[in-house]
Amino acid sequence: MTRLLLWDVDRTLLVGGGVGVEAYAAAFTAVTGLPWAGSLIAAGRTDLSITPELFAQHGITEADPYLEAFFARYADEFAERRTAMAAHGRVLPGVPEVLAALHDHPGVVQTLVTGNIAAVGVGKVAAFGLDRWLDTAVGAYGDDHAVRSELVGRARERAEAAHGPFADDEVLVIGDTVLDVGAALAAGVVAVGVATGPATAQELAAAGAHHVLDDLSDVDAAVALLAGVSSAARPR
Ligand SMILES: [Mg+2]
């Protein structure tokens, strides 16, 4: 294996339709006994980073003692809503075709680097059948570390343990936020921005993305870029 693709989930592969937030809120109330009144811009952030802030919004300044039970309950609440996610959410244009083509490409390993806890990140892609093209066991998730760039390194370590070493310019982070781009740059790998989330293509480029796509609907172009068969991706 020569190339490692680290996919973000929300607004890069799919849109969840609010089901993840519902599960999060239900888990919060179940674990704390408090009504949910949280609001936070979560895009691009990790659950380990977001959760203490959301607990603090509800007057719980020390979230650590709750985290293990909270994440376990969040995983359960999400699992109960997985079919609702398939009904209310959607896969973004070109995503299944791009993942399938890259899966068939010799030398390519695809997994997730997402701020979602593992059970939810994998559950979201599985709700749409996208997991068949991903080696989710070597991914890194929002319950691994609070800092997104650390997740990039964690996924790379796991992938290299399973598949052997990857060169820096053969590791690509694909995501929709400037935080995805920043995490790739901080980890010394290639950043590919996809402008299907809150950031415009210009903002992703300004953040330092090596490549920016409006979306993945041009399947051949996306596969060529991500498989590295056309212009080579080079970190700056
Ligand atoms: Mg995202």
Question: How do residues 38-97 score in pLDDT, each as one tens digit?
Answer: 887 778 899 999 999 999 999 999 999 999 999 999 999 999 999 999 899 999 999 999
CATH (domain of 203)? 3.40.50.1000
Amino acid letter, 139: G
Last residue of a domain, one of 28, 55, 86: 86
Q: What is the extent of the structural domain holding 63?
A: 19-86
Q: Are residues 126 and 152 in the same domain?
A: yes
Tell whether 236 is covered by a domain: no
Q: Are residues 121 and 181 in the same domain?
A: yes
d(CA 227, CA 9) in angstroms, rounded, equals: 19
Q: What is the pTM of this model?
A: 0.94
Tell whether 115 is covered by a domain: yes
Q: Are residues 191 and 212 in the same domain?
A: yes
What is the DSSP code string of 31-88? HH-PPP------TT--HHHHHHHHHHHTT----HHHHHHHHHHHHHHHHHTHHHHHHH
The string of pLDDT tens digits covering residues 142-166 is: 999 999 999 999 999 999 999 999 9
Tell whether 233 is covered by a domain: no
Distance (Å) from CA 11 to ligand 1 centroid: 5
Residue 181 has pLDDT above 80, yes or no: yes
d(CA 69, CA 49) in angstroms, rounded, equals: 16
Distance (Å) from CA 4 to ligand 1 centroid: 18
Residue 192 has pLDDT above 70, yes or no: yes
Last residue of a domain, one of 86, 102, 125: 86
Distance (Å) from CA 174 to ligand 1 centroid: 9
Q: Are residues 222 and 177 in the same domain?
A: yes
Mean pLDDT of 205-212: 98
66 dihedral zone (left: phi>0; alpha: psi -120 to 50; beta): alpha
Distance (Å) from CA 136 to ligand 1 centroid: 17
Distance (Å) from CA 178 to ligand 1 centroid: 9
Total tally of structural domains belonging to the chain? 2
